[in-house]
Amino acid sequence: MAVKIKEILKKLKIWRSLKVRLFVIIFLVGLLPCFLIKGGILQNYEDRAVAVRQSDVQNQLKIIANHLITYNYLQDTSSEVINAELEQLSNLYNGRVLIINGNLKVVKDTYGISEGKTIISEEVIKCIKGTGMANYDRNNGFIEITTPIVETVSAKMATEEIPEGTELTRGVMLTSVSTDIIVNTMDILNRKALLMEIIMFFCILVIAMVLANILIRPFDRISKAISEIKDGHVDEPISVPDYLETEHIVNAFNSLLNKMKILDDSRQEFVANVSHELKTPITSVKVLADSLLAQKDVPAEVYQEFMEDIAHEIEREDKIINDLLALVKLDKAAAELNINVVNINELAEIILKRLRPIARKNDVELLLVSTREVIAEVDEVKMSLILTNLIENAIKYNKEHGKVTVTLDADHQFFTVEVSDTGIGIPRESIERIYERFYRVDKSHSREIGGTGLGLAITRSAVLLHRGSIKVDSKPGEGSRFLVKIPLIHGAL
């Protein structure tokens, strides 16, 4: 049953509204005490009224029971006094009194119906034995009371078996009194309470509606503020400090907003950088071509020289575009990794072989130190990119007669590639920025030696895709040391 109700509530769209839930809770919590108080008060009144009436009647019955003995009524029912008393009692309480003698025979019935009959009921027999009792019959609206008619043995009557002072039950008074008055009062009270309940119902309804609206207002403010930001009217951080909860939501949203702003700024900066970088070689090509066109009868050697320069600029443009494409590919999901078991020592040797001519051209010595054999699960193409970029930089930013050492090592979890050089080093203030796209310590020098400013950005993305880390130590004028650390088994961490 409870599960069914839950399912129905889940389907009800309106129940998913916090405002509706608050309203229902406040309404029920407000209404419940009303019902409880009403029920409690009425029940209490009824119990109390019945108890009072019962004790009133019992007191009078006790007095009459004494009179019955005094006037010897059980033997002779002609006593005017007693009959008047009984009549008065039955009129007063709208009830009926039966006087039953010791033989269970009715000697007097104020209704005059059962006189002379014998009554054998549990209550009467119990009462004959000395225990009177009272029962409230709620459904039929009366209280039934049995009162023993007790005679105390006087000195005159006393015998050896029955000493003086013994109480003997001579008969029973079986009385039923109506509780109509109580029922009527209950009816009136009930009607008044119902009226109060209806008034309370509407009051609580209104209070619940107003409260639910007030309590939910901060959340409305948040969604309104978010909509305004979404529509582009404002881009200030939101502030709704009313509740701790709204503060948490707002803080989370503001930090997301901040992140998006940073992302947007860096995207804009990137686009500006890309345009600028791509424009530079094109401008050079245009200048070279224009100056050729402007001259008449240009000698073949000059043509040759200009064309070489143009080819060089086109090559540079091509390199930038290739680097950009590589970076874009690396920025995509990690799923793009094509993992294979690769012998890193062999891979390093191949790369070193490929770079040796450049090293020779720059008069730089290239050395590979394999501390141990390293076999790891990596994407071979991306690992080549990492090694190539680092070693190429170490060669490019070196000095004459410089040296580049590539050291391979591993422990049980990671392998490390250390590329150290004896080159120009990186200034302290630039260390943090060298992984940024298009960042170059010395722009013109880097361009001269064919750098695009994207190499380290590509390297870092590739390392991160392998869940590795990259660090750099550098002393300007003395050299730099790049340390890459990558897990031997992909997905183990």
Q: Which residues bind ligand ADP (CB under 6 A)?
A: 389, 393-394, 397, 421, 423-426, 434, 439-442, 446, 451-457, 480
Residue with tokens 């799923």: 335
Q: Which is nearer to ligand ADP, 193 or 441 (CB)?
A: 441
Q: Which is nearer to ligand ADP, 197 or 442 (CB)?
A: 442
CA 152, CA 66: separation in Å to the nearest integer?
10
Residue with tokens 């209550």: 123
Instruction: Find the shortest distance in angstroms from Cβ 242 to ligand ADP.
Output: 49
Nearer to ligand ADP, 73 or 397 (CB): 397
Burial of residue 428 (number of CB atoms within 10 Å: 0-12, 13-18, 19+): exposed
b/e sequence 120-130, b meaning 16+ C-beta within 10 Å: eeebbeebbee
Rounded to 5°, the CA angle 270-273-277 comes to 140
- The nearest distance, CB 236 to ligand ADP, in angstroms, is 36
If the CB atoms of residues 38 and 396 are measured against ligand ADP, the closer one turns out to be: 396
Q: How far is the CB of 424 from ligand ADP (least distance, A)?
A: 5
Q: For ligand ADP, which is the closer residue by CB, 127 or 441?
A: 441
Token duo for residue 324: 């950009």
Enter the DSSP assignment of 434.
T
Least separation, in Å, of the C-beta of 293 and ligand ADP?
32
Q: Are the C-beta atoms of 422 and 353 separated by less than 8 Å?
A: no
- Cβ-based nearer residue to ligand ADP, 148 or 281: 281
Residues 81, 67: contact at Cβ < 8 Å? yes
Smallest distance from ligand ADP to CB 322, Å:
12
Give me 468's structure tokens: 């590795």
Length of the chain: 493
The least distance separating ligand ADP from the CB of residue 389, rounded to whole angstroms, comes to 6
Long-range contacts of 256-259 (CB under 8 A, 24+ apart): 257/229
Query: Which amino acid makes up residue 357?
Result: P
CA pair distance 31, 425, nearest whole angstrom: 79
CB of 341 to ligand ADP, least distance (A): 28
What is the per-residue burial (b if ≥16 Cβ within 10 Å, else e) of 217-249?
A: ebbebbeebeeebeeeeeeeebebeeeeebeeb
DSSP H or E run through 405: strand 402-410
Q: What minimum distance in Å lies between the beta carbon of 413 and ligand ADP?
A: 27
Could you tell me where the DSSP H helices lie in 231-243?
A: none
User: Cα–Cα distance between 182 and 157 in angstroms, integer?
Assistant: 45
Q: Quick one: 365 or 442, whose CB is closer to ligand ADP?
A: 442
Helix, strand or coil for residue 152?
strand
Q: How far is the CB of 388 from ligand ADP (least distance, A)?
A: 10
CB nearer to ligand ADP: pick between 90 and 393: 393
Question: Which residue number, 218 or 476, has a Cβ lying nearer to ligand ADP?
Answer: 476
Minimum CB distance to ligand ADP smaller for 384 or for 480: 480
Q: How far is the CB of 372 from ligand ADP (least distance, A)?
A: 25
